[in-house]
Amino acid sequence: MKEQTPLSERIITRSIQVAGYSSIVFVLLILSFLIREGAPAFFEVPLKELTAIRWYPIENYFGILPLILGSLIVTIGAALIAIPAGVGTAIFISEVAPQWLKEILKPLVEVLAGFPSVMLGFLGILIVSPSLRKLLELPTGLTALTGALLLAGIAIPTIVSISEDAMNTVPRSYREAGWAVGATRWQTIWGVTLPAARSGVLMAIILGVGRSIGETMTVMMVTGNAPVLPLKWNSLFSPVRTMTATIASEMGEVATGSTHYHVLFLIGIILFLISLAVNITASAIVLRHPKRAERILS
């Protein structure tokens, strides 16, 4: 006779299922709202004007290309700084630092991960921006480089925390096998530990960069908010404007139902799709089998 599942377990199971399905429903509702408010932009503004290089809604210029490229240059700059710094710090905490230092650094990283972005932007205005202006002799310190540095500061704790956890899950026997064949500590880290934790490290990088893409307050405060096309070699040292900063700074003053209103929601749809792509990529990496060090050791 089949044993009946206890009522408490069935309630917990159903609650988890409802929570999971509700998350999907909420995401679909958000997407449908964005589409409802943003889709009219395609009918009110020609596609040629939407992909133009000038954003000046007061005179009906709705070129979103400078905003997209501004977001990309800041995010790519942050990724180039955050990935090596974050992964390197995670390696140090997991593989090199003594136990007493790990107990200090790990909680510190967790605290930095929860640091308010508006406070980071405030520190950027007071310290980072003037320092870069003097050091590089720039007309202004509110540039894409300043935004990239601060976004890197936001992404690094996420990358460090998840990467360090991933490397801690690698069995010690993998490292001992590397040492047994004569590998040095660095060779073991590079050739055994990192490949074995590759899925977790890649997920950490994607989530860290994904957080940088959606950051608003920091970039709005330190990038100068100039909607210019960043195509020159020195664009990193010039003011730019990101998509998130545009929505945050203009949505409160725009007339509901206007063309400007619909275009801002169109920008929100683009951000939503980018975030969705990042999360799908991270999920695909997590679902892959992470332990590949056996091939290296064999």
In 10 A of CB 170, how many CB atoms?
21
Structure-token pair, residue 207: 């989530």
The answer to whether residues 260 and 250 touch, using CB atoms and an 8 Å cutoff, is: yes
pLDDT tens digit sequence for 99-137: 888 888 888 888 887 788 888 888 888 898 899 888 888
Domain boundaries, the chain: 39-297
What is the DSSP track for the chain?
Answer: -PPPPPHHHHHHHHHHHHHHHHHHHHHHHHHHHHHHHHTHHHHHS-HHHHTSS-EEGGGTEE--HHHHHHHHHHHHHHHHHHHHHHHHHHHIIIIIS-HHHHHHHHHHHHHHHT--HHHHHHHIIIIIHHHHHHHHT-S-S-SHHHHHHHHHHHHHHHHHHHHHHHHHTS-HHHHHHHHHTT--HHHHIIIIIHHHTHHHHHHHHHHHHHHHHH--HHHHHHSB-------STTGGGS-B--HHHHHHHHTTTSPTTSHHHHHHHHHHHHHHHHHHHHHHHHHHHHHS----HHHHH-
Amino acid in position 18: V
Please write the tens of the pLDDT for every residue from 154-171. Answer: 899 989 988 888 888 888
Q: What is the pLDDT along the chain (298 residues), one digit of tens a residue?
A: 445 667 778 788 888 888 888 888 988 898 898 899 888 888 888 888 888 888 888 888 888 899 989 888 998 899 999 999 999 999 998 888 888 888 888 888 888 877 888 888 888 888 988 998 888 888 888 899 999 999 998 899 989 988 888 888 888 888 878 888 887 888 888 888 888 888 888 888 888 888 888 788 888 888 888 888 888 778 888 899 989 888 888 888 888 888 899 999 999 999 888 888 877 877 776 666 444 444 444 4
Pick among 2.60.40.10, 3.30.460.10, 1.10.3720.10, 3.10.20.30: CATH of 39-297: 1.10.3720.10
What is the reported pTM?
0.82
